[in-house]
């Protein structure tokens, strides 16, 4: 083997080491690609010894960094709530879920909007977080419940304690045993949750689907299911669990949020009752949208769930619920609900808009200085969840023969 060939091989091995070390940092795609190219150019120009030295130093620094994060406990302290800490990916069923059989309690210092403002909107809470063997937030494993609650973080209960979740309130307040099959995502993800559930537990359950106005009416592409794509995700997952990956990515997000705080681009804060309440601008823009074109993949996802769908519920944004207090006398368009209503008519689905009951309860509670949404978060609190639980109880209570007082 020639000396030139040996040097090129060593240089390529050094670049591969650097490439994989970069994967351990959770960098944004553009930054990762830029650095990978930069190392390639650098290693092409310097000696093989220099390339090997740089890669070895980068590897050692990363190992020391990871150990320091573990020893100091900073790897866990970056999480202000358990939802992100225990997020995992199920390669068999091609969707996200939580780590299975988690049972923890933690103090949550604030909601997800607090880092975007210096205004006084903080609402600390104590959170109990349980997951079952399948990786969803249930006190018990699935045991044949007829009704399955499917949706995103609203149904999964992000920022809320276990006793306040939709499935828990249905059980405690209405004696209705349901199963929560929910995790943050889009409509294509919900179809994947249902598909995986059917494979594990059969086709007898009926799905109660919850769609959030803020982000569920966007493009809903399913993940690539090819063998190459699955292998790529599994390979990537090897690095996403590292503390260096999680901490660096979190720090980067905080830096970008810091800019949002300085320019005031992330949220709007208004005084409701006697307290300040934050509204996420991205969801405000969606709520104000006059028209809603066909989101790619939305109809296909609904159609794939159609054999199991019992009822569809529309969750409005916090901005819509409190709009009359923010802009008295003004009106908002209903593009997302109108689109969903048309979809439900197309597939002959029962569909309920939760805007009216949520607005009514919000108006009632506001007189007492209470709210249906966390003031420092995009998610509803136990009061908002209670409204949805009552609506579900009336619907499925009637279908099961249980009389629910209206």
Does residue 237 or residue 252 have the better pLDDT?
252
> In whole numbers, what is the pLDDT of the chain averaged over residues?
89
**Vertex 373 angle, CA 369 and 379, to 5°:** 160
The pLDDT value given to residue 262: 43
Least confident of 7-11, 123-127, 133-137, 304-308: 7-11
Question: Is there a single domain that holds both residue 42 and residue 145?
Answer: no
pLDDT class of 133 with cuts at 50, 70, 90: very high
Over residues 280-299, the pLDDT tens digits come to 999 999 999 998 888 888 99
Q: pLDDT of 306-341, one tens digit each? A: 999 999 999 999 999 999 999 999 999 999 999 999
Between residues 194 and 10, which one has the greater pLDDT?
A: 194
In a domain, 406, yes or no: no
| pLDDT greater than 70 at residue 259 | no
pLDDT band at 207 (very low <50, low <70, confident <90, very high): very high
Distance CA 19, CA 42 (A): 13
Residue with tokens 């405000």: 284
State yes or no: pLDDT of 390 exceeds 70. yes
Question: What confidence category does residue 243 fall into, taking pLDDT thresholds of 50, 70 and 90?
Answer: confident
Same domain? 54 vs 187: no
Using a 10 angstrom Cβ sphere, with 0-12 exposed, 13-18 middle and 19 or more buried, the burial of residue 1 is: exposed
With H, G, I as helix, E, B as strand and everything else as coil, classify residue 391: helix
The DSSP bridge partners found for residue 313 are 210, 352
Sign of the torsion angle spanned by Cα atoms 385, 386, 389, 390:
negative
Which has the higher per-residue pLDDT, 83 or 206?
A: 206
**Residue appearing with tokens 């689109």:** 339
| H-assigned helices in 264-354 | 281-288, 298-305, 318-321, 323-326, 335-346
pLDDT tens digits along 348-371: 999 999 999 999 999 999 999 999
| 261, 337: one domain | yes
In this prediction, residue 254 carries a pLDDT of: 65
224 and 316 both lie in a single domain: yes
The CATH number of the domain holding residue 267 is 3.40.50.1110
Q: Are residues 186 and 335 in the same domain?
A: yes
pLDDT in tens, 374-389: 999 999 999 999 999 9
Task: For residues 9 and 121, state if they share a domain.
Answer: no
pLDDT at residue 220, as a whole number: 62
46-92 confidence digits (pLDDT tens): 888 899 999 999 999 999 999 998 898 888 778 888 988 888 888 78
Give the lowest-confidence range in 130-144, 219-233, 239-253.
219-233
Tokens linked to 134: 């399948």
Which range of 28-37, 148-157, 252-261, 267-276 scores highest in mean pLDDT? It is: 148-157
Q: Is residue 405 part of a domain?
A: no
Whether residue 45 sits in one domain with residue 89 = no
- Alpha carbons 105 and 144: distance in angstroms, whole number: 28
Same domain, 41 and 95: no
Considering the domain architecture, whether residues 47 and 176 belong to the same structural domain is answered as no
Q: What is the pLDDT of residue 18?
A: 92
Specify whether 98 is located in the same domain as 41. no
SS3 244: helix
pLDDT at residue 260 tops 50: no
What pLDDT score was predicted for residue 74? Answer: 83
Q: Kindly report which listed range (31-35, 186-190, 210-214) carries the lowest average pLDDT score.
A: 31-35
Sign of the C-alpha dihedral, residues 283, 285, 288, 291? negative
pLDDT at position 94 is 83
| Helices and strands, counts by H and E, the chain | 17, 11
Per DSSP, the three-state class of 353 is: strand
Number of domains in the chain: 2
What tokens appear for 402 in the block? Answer: 């249980």
Indicate whether 80 belongs to any domain.
no
Average of per-residue pLDDT across 12-23: 91
Residues 254 and 395 in one domain: yes
Q: Which domain holds residue 237?
A: 85-400
Q: Are residues 125 and 272 in the same domain?
A: yes
Q: Is the pLDDT of residue 232 over 70?
A: no
User: Average of pLDDT values for 85-105?
Assistant: 89
Q: How much is the pLDDT for 373?
A: 98
């Amino acid at each position: 083997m020639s000396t030139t060939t040996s040097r090129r091989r060593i240089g390529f091995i050094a670049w591969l080491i650097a490439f994989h070390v970069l994967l351990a940092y959770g960098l944004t795609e553009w930054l990762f690609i830029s650095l990978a190219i930069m190392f390639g150019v650098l290693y092409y120009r310097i000696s093989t010894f220099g390339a090997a030295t740089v890669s070895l130093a980068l590897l050692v620094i990363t190992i020391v960094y990871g150990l320091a994060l573990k020893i100091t406990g900073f790897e866990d302290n970056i999480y202000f709530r358990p939802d992100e800490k225990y997020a995992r990916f199920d390669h068999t069923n091609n969707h996200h879920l939580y780590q299975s059989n988690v049972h923890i309690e933690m103090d949550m210092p604030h909601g997800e909007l607090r880092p975007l403002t210096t205004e006084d909107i903080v609402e600390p809470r104590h959170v109990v977080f349980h997951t079952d063997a399948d990786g969803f937030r249930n006190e018990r494993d699935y045991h044949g419940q007829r009704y399955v609650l499917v949706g995103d973080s609203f149904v999964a209960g992000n920022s809320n304690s276990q006793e306040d979740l939709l499935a828990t309130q249905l059980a405690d307040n209405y004696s209705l045993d349901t199963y929560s099959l929910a995790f943050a995502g889009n409509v294509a993800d919900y179809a994947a949750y249902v598909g995986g559930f059917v494979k594990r537990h059969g086709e007898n359950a009926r799905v109660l689907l919850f769609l959030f106005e803020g982000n569920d009416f966007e493009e809903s592409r399913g993940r690539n299911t090819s063998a190459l794509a699955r292998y790529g995700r599994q390979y990537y997952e090897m690095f996403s669990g590292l503390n260096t990956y999680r901490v660096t990515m979190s720090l980067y997000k905080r830096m970008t949020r810091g800019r949002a705080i300085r320019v005031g681009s992330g949220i709007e804060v208004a005084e409701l009752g006697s307290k300040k309440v934050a509204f996420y601008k991205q969801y405000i823009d969606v709520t104000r949208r006059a028209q809603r074109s066909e989101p790619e993949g939305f109809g296909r996802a609904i159609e794939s769930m159609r054999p199991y769908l019992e009822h569809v519920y529309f969750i409005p944004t916090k901005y819509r619920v409190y709009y009359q207090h923010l802009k008295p006398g003004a009106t908002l368009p209903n593009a997302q609900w109108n689109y969903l209503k048309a979809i439900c008519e197309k597939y002959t689905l029962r569909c309920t808009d939760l805007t009216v009951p949520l607005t009514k309860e919000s108006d009632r509670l506001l007189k007492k200085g209470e709210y249906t949404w966390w003031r420092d978060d995009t998610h509803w609190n136990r009061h908002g969840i209670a409204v949805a639980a009552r609506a579900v109880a009336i619907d499925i209570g009637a279908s099961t023969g249980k009389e629910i007082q209206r």
